[in-house]
Structure 1
Amino acid sequence: MEVKVVVVKNKIGLHARPAALFVQTATKFLSKIYVEKKGRKVNAKSIMGIMALGVCQGDQIKLYAQGEDEKKAIEELEDLLLNKLEQEYI
């Protein structure tokens, strides 16, 4: 299992379009992927789950992935959160 702690940088967090992009990225992988915020863990492939977490700028979240492509999944999701969403939504 791969686990990574990430601080969300983009101004609108994981709401609306950024949440959809996050879920689209997660669904590319075979691994089971979860996001945790303040002890609440949801399936990263569920738009409703991600939206329900209410992730905002500056929030610390944990990414969990378990499966054959877990390392690649964590790397791409971290890159999305730290670089790609930040560039698109500044």
Structure 2
Amino acid sequence: MVKSSITVTNESGLHLRPASELTKLSHSLNSDITIIHKDQKVNPKSVLNLMSAGITKGATIEIRCEGESEIEDLQKLLAAIASGLGE
């Protein structure tokens, strides 16, 4: 398992559009992925789970990946979040 923390920089946090992009990316990866925000663990392969976490701008989240391609998958997730998830 690998993990890393990142700060969300989207103006409106992970609202529907960026949450959908993160869900789409998560589905394309082979790792088991968990995002942790304020002690709440969510599966990013569900947009509803992401939305229910209430991740706002400036929030620091931890991403955990476990699987054969965990390092590459974690890097892809971090890069996508750092780039604003299409916003």
TM (norm. structure 1) is 0.91
Amino acid at match of 1:14: L
**How far off its partner does 1:84 sit?**
4.1
Task: Report the aligned-residue RMSD.
Answer: 1.0
Q: Tell me the amino acid that sits aligned with residue 62 of structure 1.
A: E
1: CA distance, partners of 2:15 / 2:68: 29
Structure 1 stretches of 5 or more lacking a match? none
Answering whether residue 25 of structure 2 is matched by residue 25 of structure 1, we say yes
Q: For 2:31, give the aligned amino acid.
A: S
Alignment-mate amino acid for residue 25 of structure 1? L
* Structure 1 outlier segments of 4+, above 3 Å: none
1:8 CA drift (Å): 0.3
Q: How does 1:29-40 map to 2 (within 5 A)?
A: 29-40=29-40
Partner Cα distance (1:84, 1:12) in 2: 11
Amino acid at match of 2:27: T
Aligned mates of 2:16, 2:70 — CA distance in 1 = 25
In 2, the alpha carbon distance for the partners of 1:78 and 1:46 equals: 18
Q: CA deviation at 1:22?
A: 0.3
Which residue is equivalent to 1:76? Answer: 76
Aligned identity (percent) is 30
Q: How far apart, in 1, do the equivalents of 2:41 and 2:47 lie? A: 13
